[in-house]
Amino acid sequence: MMHAVDLRSDTVTRPTPGMRRAIADAEVGDDVFGDDPTVLELERRVAHLAGKEAALYVPSGTMGNQLAIRVLTERGDEVLVEDESHIILWEQGGLAANSGCLARPVHGERGALTPEMVEAALSDASDDHVARLSLVCIENTHNRAGGVIVPLERQRATAAAARARGLSVHLDGARLWNASVATDIPIAEWAAPADTVMMCFSKGLGAPIGSILVGPAAAIARARRVRKLWGGGMRQVGIIAAACLYALDHHVVRLADDHRRARTLAAGLAAVPGVRAPVPDTNLVYVHLEGEALDPQAILAGLDARGVRMSQYGPRLLRAATHLDVDDRGIERAIEAFQEVAGERAGAARGPRHAPRVAQN
């Protein structure tokens, strides 16, 4: 039986045989007591990779982002964030619910905040009537902007503007591994401009569970305490941390394959009339259905019937994410299926073809 080509997200990956062996062989302890050796090794290793003092293993990227906001702000503070960032769109208003903060969303340039946006968001700190801006959140790569890589120099400039005004900086680096591989810039350089950085293992790296928050030792110690408050304390969690260590050893460099396949996929989909699929920076392909006949729901249903799955991300927008469970043949299948479905939709929109009338003698 042929497996589906599942491009809905890079979170749908299954552990590889080698990763399953690492999980089975993991040495474990009680992480709440601080004695799970596999978790300690993961936290030590990633803190070193990121050039930070400490790290905290967490169940999800959302928890990592929310912990960073909690430890870098006070209740009633304002948080500057790009208006299509994950923190705004897909974390249930957590910065308000969890930290009592007010979001200051601004529309970025291809997902990027600029130094000018930081300056424009500032208010008179001496005025007791207004909220105090205390934190700037950056996302890299930026999902909604198309998996784009915010250039490091832009990220540095924005962070520098924030620091000059006494603001903290958090980097949502859920797919920062992709940015690092695509640019050949080490994680530590991407992480340097930010106080705290969150990175996911359960996306492109293919681990079943987990993300990590890195930063100053004092901030991470406080985040560990809040993680416990939020029910995120975990016991023999080395079982899943072992999968993350395996991913660091075996699944980082191969992200370049995902990027190459994403470019191939985008080119194949863009060849369909009425479809625009910009060349991706990394592994996320955004598919704009501009032809009137290309109904998103009908396209998705037709793809699903052919064993190909994508996600809808807007009224006429689809997204496909390449990952380690989709090989070159899977990309070919996805392109073939999309072209077939789009062709059928275009034919249906034109209506049935009638045979020419024959003159009667």
Q: What domains can you pick out in the chain, each with its CATH number?
A: 17-250 (3.40.640.10), 254-349 (3.90.1150.10)
Give the integer Cα–Cα distance in Å for 136 and 215.
15
Of 177, 259, 181, whose CA–CA distance to 212 is shortest? 177
C-alpha to C-alpha distance for 287 and 322, rounded to whole angstroms? 13
- Whether the pLDDT of residue 361 is over 50: the answer is no
Give the tens place of pLDDT for each residue, 226-242.
999 999 999 999 999 99
Angle at 349 between CA 345 and CA 352, to 5 degrees: 105
Residue with tokens 């897909």: 90
Classified as helix, coil or strand, 117 is helix
Classify 307 as helix, strand or coil: coil
> Is pLDDT above 70 for 359?
no
Q: In what order do the strands lie in the sheet with 211-215?
A: 54-58, 211-215, 196-200, 168-172, 133-139, 78-82, 102-106
pLDDT tens track for 240-265: 999 999 999 999 999 999 999 999 99
Q: How far apart are the first and last CA of the chain?
A: 57
Is residue 112 within 8 Å of residue 85, measured between CB atoms?
A: no
What is the pLDDT, as a whole number, of residue 69? 98
pLDDT(154) > 90: yes
What is the full DSSP assignment across 179-198?
HHHHHT--HHHHHTT-SEEE
Among candidates 194, 254, 314, which has minimal Cα distance to 10?
Answer: 254
**Residue-level pLDDT at 293:** 87
Supply the pLDDT for residue 1. Answer: 55
Task: Write down the residue that tokens 């293919």 correspond to.
Answer: 206
Are 275 and 345 a contacting pair, CB within 8 Å? Answer: no
Angle in degrees, CA 105, 111, 112, rounded to 5: 85
Judged against a pLDDT cut of 90, whether residue 356 lies above it is answered with no
Q: Residue 140 and residue 21: Cα distance in Å, rounded?
A: 32
Residue of higher predicted confidence among 88 and 360: 88
pLDDT confidence tier of residue 358, bands split at 50, 70 and 90: very low
Q: What is the amino acid identity at position 195?
A: D
Q: Are strands 5-6 and 308-309 parallel, antiparallel or unpaired?
A: parallel
pLDDT per residue over 24-37, tens digit each?
999 999 999 999 99
pTM of the model: 0.94
